[in-house]
Amino acid sequence: MSAEAKIMYALLKDRFELSIQNEWVDRNNNIYFIFSNKHLCEYLGYGEQKIIKLKKELVNFNLLTQERVGLNKPNRLYLLKPNYDIEASLTKELPNSQFQNNEFGSSRTVNLSGQELPNSQSNDTELNNTNYIENEDNDTYDMNDIISNTLINNNHHSNHTNHQKTEFNNDALKFQVLEELPQQLQDYLSKFEIREIRIIKSVLLKGKKSFNTSHDTYYRLEDVEFEIVSVLKRFKAMLLQKNETVEAMQGYLMQSIKAELEETHALYMRRKNMKQYNIFNQ
């Protein structure tokens, strides 16, 4: 692996750890991060073609995967952990076997360390993808198969356990963020990811406070619960239609909430005035 690719990996690892803190997780509970080619060029001082080449190098070493999001949008990046520890352990246990075309040879990854994604598929780093030079000792082959199968089974079990733990933690975080909201809002917002919920909740509270202040009134979320859920449903449809993120569309959400509150307040005032000036009430 080139020195430039190692430097990029270290930079991506820092961004990945920031995503862990911000809980950027996709629908499969895998942690992703965004680092556009433009910003990588600014940080590393390379041209865009060089950045693309270094990314491909990391992909070839199974240290990085990319997911296309949409037109003119940066890809989602998923960082993987080098598997040099397993390779080194097997080299010590099987001194007569030699590795050929190992994607995670210690000479290539000795200076790299990373955080493996929760629930990342084990076939990114599984041992059974490593090819061995033929050896006349059949016992060595048998031992190698046993160790490979054991490691693979352990990886699957570990991934399943991690998935359950991640789901449990995710549900706990959602409960904490949503518990002070009305029930209908809780039920609908629970379908979003935790980071999206935090953004939406923040916009809801700010929009309500701004409206109450400007109109010298006091609406609670409980008073407009049904209307806000309708706004959120239209907002979700807009996200799908435009293929945008909650973060990118929070300004639109704020405008929609205020417009809904304006309409609700106007309707309330009309009804109030009708009762006040109704001749049959005199």
Whether 255 has a pLDDT exceeding 70, the answer reads yes
CA distance 169 to 34: 23
Using the structure block, give the residue that is written with the tokens 């041209």.
47
CA distance 116 to 15: 13
CA distance 217 to 265: 9
Provide the pLDDT for residue 165: 60
User: Regarding predicted confidence, which is higher, 26 or 228?
Assistant: 228
Q: Is residue 144 within 8 Å of residue 128, measured between CB atoms?
A: no
CA distance 276 to 258: 27
The average pLDDT across 249-259 equals 92
CA distance 207 to 9: 41
Of the ranges 118-127, 157-166, 176-185, which one carries the lowest mean pLDDT score? Answer: 118-127
Count, residues in the chain: 282
Q: What percent of the chain has pLDDT over 90?
A: 28
Q: Is residue 123 within 8 Å of residue 157, measured between CB atoms?
A: no
Q: Is residue 75 within 8 Å of residue 68, measured between CB atoms?
A: yes
Phi, psi of 132 (to 5 degrees): -115, 145
Q: Residue 33's beta-bridge partner residues?
A: 77
Using the structure block, give the residue that is written with the tokens 């406070």.
209
Whether 102 has a pLDDT exceeding 50, the answer reads no
Per domain, the residue ranges of the chain are: 3-174, 180-275
pLDDT, tens digit (0-9, with 9 covering 90-100), for 217-231: 888 888 889 999 999
| Integer CA distances (angstroms), 70 to 30, 73, 119, 148, 240, in order | 19, 5, 24, 39, 12
pTM (two decimals): 0.41
pLDDT band for position 206 (cuts 50, 70, 90): very high
Q: Residue 99's beta-bridge partner residues?
A: 132
CB atoms within 10 A of CB 145: 11
CA distance 39 to 70: 18
Q: Which residues contact 204 (CB under 8 A, 6 or more apart)?
A: 185, 221, 228, 257
Q: Is residue 54 within 8 Å of residue 2, measured between CB atoms?
A: yes
Comparing CA positions, the residue from 23, 115, 99, 18 lying closest to residue 64 is 115
Tokens of residue 126, six digits: 């599984």
Phi, psi of 248 (to 5 degrees): -70, -25
pLDDT band for position 281 (cuts 50, 70, 90): low
Q: What percent of the chain has pLDDT over 70?
A: 67
User: Regarding predicted confidence, which is higher, 118 or 79?
Assistant: 79
100: enclosing H helix or E strand:
strand 99-100
* Arithmetic mean of pLDDT over the chain: 74
CB atoms within 10 A of CB 53: 14
User: Regarding predicted confidence, which is higher, 151 or 180?
Assistant: 180
Using the structure block, give the residue that is written with the tokens 């996709």.
26
Q: What angle do CA 204, 201, 214 make, to 5 degrees?
A: 25
Q: Is residue 246 within 8 Å of residue 200, measured between CB atoms?
A: yes
Provide the pLDDT for residue 42: 82
pLDDT, tens digit (0-9, with 9 covering 90-100), for 123-155: 443 334 434 333 444 444 444 554 455 555 555
